[in-house]
Amino acid sequence: MSLTLDLALQLARDTLAEGETRGFLPLAVAVLDTAGQPLAILRDHRSSLHRADIAVGKAAGCLAMGFGGRELAKRASAMPAFMTAVSAIFPKGIVPVPGGVLIRDADGGLLGAIGVSGDTSDNDETCALAALDRAGLHADTGA
Amino acid sequence: MSLTLDLALQLARDTLAEGETRGFLPLAVAVLDTAGQPLAILRDHRSSLHRADIAVGKAAGCLAMGFGGRELAKRASAMPAFMTAVSAIFPKGIVPVPGGVLIRDADGGLLGAIGVSGDTSDNDETCALAALDRAGLHADTGA
Amino acid sequence: MSLTLDLALQLARDTLAEGETRGFLPLAVAVLDTAGQPLAILRDHRSSLHRADIAVGKAAGCLAMGFGGRELAKRASAMPAFMTAVSAIFPKGIVPVPGGVLIRDADGGLLGAIGVSGDTSDNDETCALAALDRAGLHADTGA
Amino acid sequence: MSLTLDLALQLARDTLAEGETRGFLPLAVAVLDTAGQPLAILRDHRSSLHRADIAVGKAAGCLAMGFGGRELAKRASAMPAFMTAVSAIFPKGIVPVPGGVLIRDADGGLLGAIGVSGDTSDNDETCALAALDRAGLHADTGA
């Protein structure tokens, strides 16, 4: 199984719809394939200027390191110098907080990553999890 | 009038749909607001690794210079050193070929830009024009 | 309403004049539009080498995240890894301290941002606030 | 003698005023000191997104190489690979066309550089020359 554009777009739209339903702040969402390249990036026109960059950074950072955002957050606490160092190396950065989620199939195989930004990191992640659940995909948050 | 996410996503989807209908190679499309920030970026999962970057570079270059891709192409022919120079300065680059189109309203006001990559530059542009036409928006190709 | 060059230049000059009146250290000031692009950047010739970059980073960071510098400072304290991460992603960086101020109209609409650097962050901000007040514009410091 | 902020701002404003008088397209102008750092950057709010970056690149490139824009243009023609190479090295790029002008005192001493972008390169340069002439400063265009 692999992530198609149609499936990625469905994930992106469902993420934003979840935020609307919950009354969250306007969001940006990025769905990247296993190569870290975009399949679907959507940014609410009411969100701030660089929200899409943050969403991409969350997803790209998870793929770069092979962990969900919660594990990246733990490592940023334990090894801040390491995280700062790699953020300057990775071409799309790394944003080590919740809201970056690895997308896996039923066997744990990696399909890509989703990143969300706009509200609190926990709320951002909530929206990604809802979308992945609706699609029957496994969310690896790094928790 | 300004570009909403819904309208941007419609433009992006219609661009890809036009390419499917015409049997073009798999495409990537980027719809940016007047600030050069993404509203909708979609990349066909069958397209090559950095097609989204090219689509973004086409749209961003049009906004950076204030001309559609066909005018940029003319300038790249007439002033190759200038175009090389600015491609290193602009944060998302500039791709001075057809397939980058400024989006204008009925009064000529700038709403954003769309960039398409995947098939020939002319075919890329054809798809963007079809989407803009369907939405009743004015396409400024720089021709 | 939107920010013209004339208005932006008036804001920049009034910011520097306020610093002179108060006997502050030499300042740099940047007034950016909603796209994060410069309308007016002025740097006192007696200020240090990269003061203009700091002023730009303060204003650009506010626009990138959608908050004034005081809110950014709070977030940098609460989430240092996040702030370090995005500083490597945003093309003009983010400087999460007072002295970066969102410029709003009477209805709260975003017009751009102003950033000031050279003296203490509080003093930097004081100068921006004086200039915005003189122009009848609303200052969103993030406080 | 050295370039003060007041003098740099006068040069920047006179450059834009000359463009208005002549009916040129909206311009951006950058006046940099001998260290390549901004003293005054102004961008007409009607000009395209990255015009200020181009103006800075014209001025910074002159300072980087020690020649006015017309000499840089000649070298770009004679040695395109060299110019492409350094454009990727210099932090603010190099834009090797007219409109980048070294500012010199009566003895030929370097005071800084001015860069202009928005209309044709020749027209851009015309505006800078008018401003330098009005201020009694020597323009080194590299011709």
Rounded Cα–Cα distance for residues A112 and A131 (Å): 14
Residue in chain A nearest C37 by alpha carbon: A49
Q: How many helices and strands, by DSSP H and E, does chain D display? A: 5, 5
Q: How many helices (H) and strands (E) does chain B have?
A: 5, 5
- What pLDDT sits at residue A84? 93
Task: List, in sequence order, every residue forming a beta bridge with D28; answer none if it has no partner.
Answer: D43, D117
Q: What CATH number has the domain bearing residue C26?
A: 3.30.450.150
Q: Enter the tokens of residue C95.
A: 């400087």
Q: What is the pLDDT of residues B52-111, one digit of tens each?
A: 999 999 999 999 999 999 999 999 999 999 999 999 999 999 999 999 999 999 999 999
Partners of C36 on chain B (C-beta within 8 Å) are: 35
Which DSSP category does C13 fall into?
A: H
Angstrom distance (rounded) from CA C23 to CA C32 = 25
Give the domain extent around D26. 5-140
Best of B4, B5, B9 to disrupt the A interface (most A CBs within 10 Å) is: B5
d(Cα A124, Cα A18) in Å, to the nearest integer?
A: 10
Query: Which residues does chain D have within 8 Å of residue C37's beta carbon, measured at their own beta carbons?
Result: 43, 49-50, 52
Q: Compare CB distances from C42 to D3, D5, D33 and report the shortest one's residue.
A: D5
Buried b (16+ CB within 10 A) or exposed e, D94-111: bbbbbbbbbbbeeeeebb
| Chains A and D lie in contact, requiring 3 or more CB pairs less than 8 Å apart | no
Chains that touch C (3 or more CB pairs under 8 A): A, B, D
Cβ contacts from C onto D, under 8 A = 56
ipTM more than 0.95? Answer: yes
Contact call for C and B: 3+ CB–CB distances under 8 Å: yes
The string of DSSP codes covering C88-134 is TTSTT----STTEEEEE-TT--EEEEEEEESS-HHHHHHHHHHHHHH
With vertex at residue D109, the alpha carbon angle to CA D103 and CA D114, rounded to the nearest 5 degrees, is: 15
Q: Could you give the number of structural domains in chain D?
A: 1
Q: Is the pTM of this model over 0.90?
A: yes
- Looking at residue D1, its pLDDT comes to 76
Contacts of residue B91 in chain C, CB cutoff 8 Å? 91
Contact assignment for A53 to C79 by CB distance below 8 Å: no
Structure tokens at B31: 């719809």
Chains that touch D (3 or more CB pairs under 8 A): B, C
Q: Which residue of B has its CA nearest to C63?
A: B35
pLDDT, one tens digit per residue, over A22-46 is 999 999 999 999 999 999 999 999 9
Cβ burial of D125 (10 Å; 0-12, 13-18, 19+) is buried
Q: How far is CA D42 from the centre of its chain?
A: 12
| Kind and range of the H or E run holding C62 | helix C51-65
Identify residues of D whose CB sits under 8 angstroms from chain C CBs: 2-5, 8-9, 13, 16, 28, 33, 35, 37-45, 49-50, 52
Along the 143 residues of chain C, how does pLDDT read in single tens digits? 789 999 999 999 999 999 999 999 999 999 999 999 999 999 999 999 999 999 999 999 999 999 999 999 999 999 999 999 999 999 999 999 999 999 999 999 999 999 999 999 999 999 999 999 999 999 999 99
Q: How many CB atoms lie within 10 A of CB B61?
A: 30
